[in-house]
Chain A
């Protein structure tokens, strides 16, 4: 982990020195480390992306955004004749349009970024890749997410299965395609259980918060007036009290709700892995709710409490989790898996970089 820390710190120092422009090269170095320290069947992954590819991708995304802004400006001048209607100005049109296209584009970028990363990944010298259209994925993902919102999240299994499928079954190692054979029906029962337990947990947490909050206020003889004063003339004490209250509420909710979430996530992850395969290689994992807690909650806290400096530690924990919990059965027939002759995505992850959704 020391090596990873040194690479990460170097990246952060350069980020501050270059006001962020070194991030393309820093990310590349971090990926080289992470990829090459992860192996399957004794063979390490190899990352051969270049920082300048990410830079070009970023610049392309910027050009696209500028083009869009120009288009909006033309629309403003020629369609609206520079007249705001109902206090709706040029700036509002632009920001609204960015929100409207930004949501689908984030998904497009996500898929395109995955394609880029896979195209720069090698295993046993064989390039990986991702087929399929990022735009199609963006449209499907937007539609499904919207439908899920309209049905108070009850479509979550349909959404997750249908978003996981293209990302897995379009991925390949050379000529060997991966496959995903899951279906939403399999996980619906568990999801509904999680859904209603979640509602119960929220109600319990809110009730508990009120009970605790009320009794503390009584105990210290606080009135609403005192509370108001506390916030209108903030002192160090107020800030500390507010922080303590926030931590208390956070703990209460996390104790009731996050374990449930981890329980569902662990189940979903086990399902996802065990329903994926690559040729005659089968995958499996027995990741537990507790391990998922460590992955989702503890990792989050580590990054938060170290102001981001704990990130390499989190990555290290994640590598260990993958190494320990991803099991393979069977071996690929090496001779039948061949290198593909087509290249892969030529540019970096412009859209992804712009929306800043890439975990790695």
Chain B
């Protein structure tokens, strides 16, 4: 089938099989920023935003994206760069393979937390929100330090 949707605000038509994982379709179409590590929904590396909501693109079939808006990390360049600067300054990322999915989920989290009116950064809530974003290198501590500083700089 031809999947019509937008990727990072650009209308695209992607050749695919309806049951293919959206992650595979996006990678094949050149969106290499969508990583894949487990293929079973456990690691969060393949996270994209589908109509602004984070979903595991390995666990959603391509046809489901018909007519909808996909955002990859490349579609949130500015925000990713801002949060990315904190992550880099903290030395929080190692191999970086998990970073695009992590940053995208963290940005979605920021929006949700703000909408809920969170004031001080709630680390436990953040750990819970991001629990599905696995990282085997970093031990997570640096991620959390970076997020706290980022949050405080922007919402403090």
A binds B: no
